[in-house]
Structure 1
Amino acid sequence: MASGTVAPVSVSKGAGVDLIPHQFQYHTTETDASVLLYVTPEKAQAGLTKLVVEAAQAAVKAKGAFTLVLSGGSLPALLGPLASAKGIDWSKTHIFFVDERNVPHTCPDSTFKAVQEALLSQVPIPASQVYAIAEGLPVEQAATQYEGRLISIPASALPRSADGGFPVFDLILLGVGPDGHVASLFPNRPETAATQGWVLPVKDSPKPPPERITMTMPVINAAKEVAVVALGESKREIVQRVLEVQALPGALPAQLVRPKGGKLKWVLDVASAELLDVASWGEGKEFPRSSF
């Protein structure tokens, strides 16, 4: 500051007063989190099948319907054993997609196509209970239409949460990308920070194809149970970062997955868990994230 210039007067009202909150926030509700570690990908696939069957049986017993939400990527290829699994009443099962590419159902990029080929074509589930994205709509309309379909489902089958009226799905299966994204909620994006709405459009996804729809983080965190499936050597770095290194809120969207009052499970195999220092988790560090 030049000599003789009057210093500006501070307009601060005091420490902590009238601060603008960061757009990303970790909620403080406790989450029941655990890691399921399997020796091989095949055993992990069997464990995932068991997890789905148990969730289906519990949901049908409690309310007469089972709501299962699926993601894309490598997950659909793991769903095949569900077709022959005992204990799933497909007539009472409803299938949803946590995110979807805004492409025709016949396109190789379509998650619906992948799930249809791996599972749905092999089970007697009513077509009306498979909630695929509408084809041929602008992405904003596709998101609105998908949210409208969810809202129309009776609360007896798809209950609403007490705080905010979000849908309470029985089980959401997520993958995790190398950048830590889940669904189509990418690092430091406004969709990832959204606190309202059930389904949002994504126009310029950093991962192709650019147009997608995605469920919001509050919807994911309203679920009874969320399982993040990460198998293989390609996942080991991001698994270690998410489970052991606390990032700034929003930098690793997978760290924002904290079901409010629900259960969070990470399904891993030896290859994806290779970099984890599990022995240190009992040394006072927060689980599943460290405090350093």
Structure 2
Amino acid sequence: MTASAFARFGVSCAAQPRGAGRQTPGLAKPRQVGRGATSNNGTALADLAQENGAVNGAVNGVQNEGVAQIAVNGSSAEKGATISRINYIPRSRWPKGIPPVMGAHLMPSGEVAPVSTSKGAGLGGIPHKFFYPDEKDNYSVLQFGSPAAVGSGLASYVQEASAAAIKERGAFTLVLSGGSLFKALSPLIGLPGLDLSKWHVFFVDERNVPHSSPDSNFKGANEVLLSKVAIPREQIYAIKEHLPVKEAATEYAGQLLRLEETVLPRNAEGLPVFDVILLGLGPDGHVASLFPNRSQLAATDAWVLPVENSPKPPPERITFSLPLINSAKQIGLVAMGEGKAEIVQRVLEVQSLPGALPAQLVRPTAGSLTWFLDVASAQNLSMHKWESSKDFPRST
């Protein structure tokens, strides 16, 4: 107990008598209380010590170095009296807990910081809404010499998948994204050996606009590809026009639900399993209409989701959910041109926070993922170092 602590009770302090016990390093020099000292309310110090000792279990007669010596009943060490050493634990001045303003718990605004409601690590917390699926060795990265070579590679990829699916169950399901992907698939036009009568074509995302709109993925695919191949029109599944976006998403999911499992099988979780889903890569790392850190990216309870506030126009869209995409047998992710070089390098070589780069969450649960790149989009990659555990995964 320090001199200032004794002073609270009106107790005077005298110098430590010669020959007292050795001082413990780091503790204040022990002091002896003068005889007959009383508190300011008339209670003898010994009684006060006993009272507090009874409350706190702190009274003891054990010699303890570095603890203040208290003279009881006027006796002193110099007269050979027994010295009681007391570890005094004062009662809290805050019976309801330390006020939040203590300990600098103030925010820069001057407001009192909110009191934590945490129950402890892993108890009662809210889990992060984005997550990385389990790592699987089921992906490959293909680099081609030109965009035309990428198109030829894509056509062969689709052709092989089509043949395998039709042989297995008599149908092939292909899911398209938008953008430059339709042009890349033009080598499919006139490709021999394709049984197009067994094809079923879907859209991984679509803008909630009329089919005649220049923003329509259906219009873009039809002009460049679908109108030039012999796929039955009723086996091309477009968004229903002129519906509110939430109803449009529900209606498109209904189109999938109505298909026989010989056309669109289900996995153990009840999710449709498409044969091939082809995705583009946005400059911010988005795929389909799953944009960075948006709620749709974390959705797990629907096949098709409405998007009401897309960061790029038009604002209303529908999109496959991430679990539905990852249930596919094969996923092809296509990125071409110098403008995609930076985002390709970030997605493939820099591990981001979950949700920051949606393309990093494309990890098929039971299928495979294949990247299709040209020289320009792959120019920032360090593929020759990928096998080095020292260099990868990169964090810069």
Same fold (TM over 0.5): yes
The answer to whether structure 1 residue 6 and structure 2 residue 111 are counterparts is: no
Aligned to 2:151: 45
Give 1:97's aligned amino acid.
F
CA distance in 2 between counterparts of 1:211 and 1:11 reads 38
Which residue in 1 is equivalent to 2:308?
203
Check whether the contact 2:280–2:287 (CA below 8 A) recurs between aligned residues.
yes
Structure 2 residue corresponding to 1:64, chosen from 149, 159, 170: 170
Match runs of 1:229-240 below 5 Å: 229-240=334-345
Deviation per residue, 1:127-160 (Å, 9 max, x gap): 1100000111111111111000000001111111
Identity, % of aligned positions: 59
Match of 1:191 in 2: 296
**Distance in 1 of aligned mates of 2:395 and 2:272:** 32
The Cα shift of 1:95 comes to: 0.2
Structure 1 residues 186 and 31, CA, compared in 2 at 3 Å: closer, same or farther? farther
Bigger relative contact order, structure 1 or 2 (CA pairs below 8 A, ≥6 apart):
1
Secondary structure of the structure 2 residue equivalent to 1:185? coil
- AA in 1 matched with 2:306: P
Pairs within 5 Å for 1:126-137: 126-137=232-243
Q: Return the offset for 1:286.
A: 9.3
**AA partner of residue 250 (structure 1):** G
TM-score normalised to structure 1 length: 0.94
Aligned partner of residue 282 in structure 1, secondary structure: coil
Q: Give the superposition deviation at 1:228.
A: 0.4
| Cα distance in structure 2, aligned partners of 1:286 and 1:126 | 50
Q: Is the 8 A contact 2:253 2:303 kept in 1?
A: yes
1:146 is aligned with what amino acid?
A: Y
CA displacement at 1:14 relative to structure 2? 3.0
Q: CA 1:11–1:213 in 2, change beyond 3 Å: closer, same or farther?
A: closer
SS of the residue 1:62 aligns to? helix
| Equivalent residue number for residue 217 of structure 1 | 322
Q: Which amino acid in structure 2 is aligned with residue 84 of structure 1?
A: G
**The residue matched to 1:42 in structure 2 has which SS?**
helix
Name the larger-Rg structure.
2
Q: 1:17: how far off?
A: 2.3
Q: Give yes or no for the alignment of 1:256 onto 2:361.
A: yes
Whether contact under 8 Å (1:100, 1:213) holds in the other structure is yes
- Looking at structure 2, the residues matched to 227 and 11 of structure 1 have their Cα atoms a distance apart, in angstroms, of 45
Q: TM-score normalized by structure 2?
A: 0.70
Q: Deviations over 1:236-278 (max 9, x none)?
A: 0000000000010000000000000210000001000000011
Residue type matched to 1:132 in 2? A
Asked if 1 retains the 8 angstrom alpha-carbon contact of 2:341 and 2:380, the reply is: yes
Cα distance, 1:53–1:182 mapped onto 2, change above 3 Å: same
Q: Select 1:284's aligned residue among 382, 385, 389.
A: 389
Aligned to 1:34: 140
Greater displacement, 58-67 / 78-87: 78-87
Report the CA distance shift for 1:199/1:170 in structure 2 as closer, same or farther (over 3 A). same
More displaced 10-residue stretch of structure 1: 153-162 or 173-182: 153-162
| Deviation readout 1:88-107 (Å, 9 max, x if unpaired) | 21110000000000111111
Change (3 A) 1:99 1:7: same
* Aligned equivalent of 1:245: 350
Equivalent residues of 1:30, 1:261 under 8 A apart: no
Structure 1, unmatched stretches of 5+, are none
Decide which of 124, 127, 132 is 1:21's aligned counterpart: 127
Q: Measure, in 1, the Cα distance between the counterparts of 2:193 and 2:140.
A: 24
Q: Given residue 377 of structure 2, which amino acid in structure 1 is its aligned partner?
A: S
Instruction: Structure 2: give runs of 5+ residues left out of the alignment.
Output: 1-92, 101-114
Cα-Cα RMSD:
1.8
Q: Equivalents in 2 of 1:45, 1:154: separation in Å?
A: 31
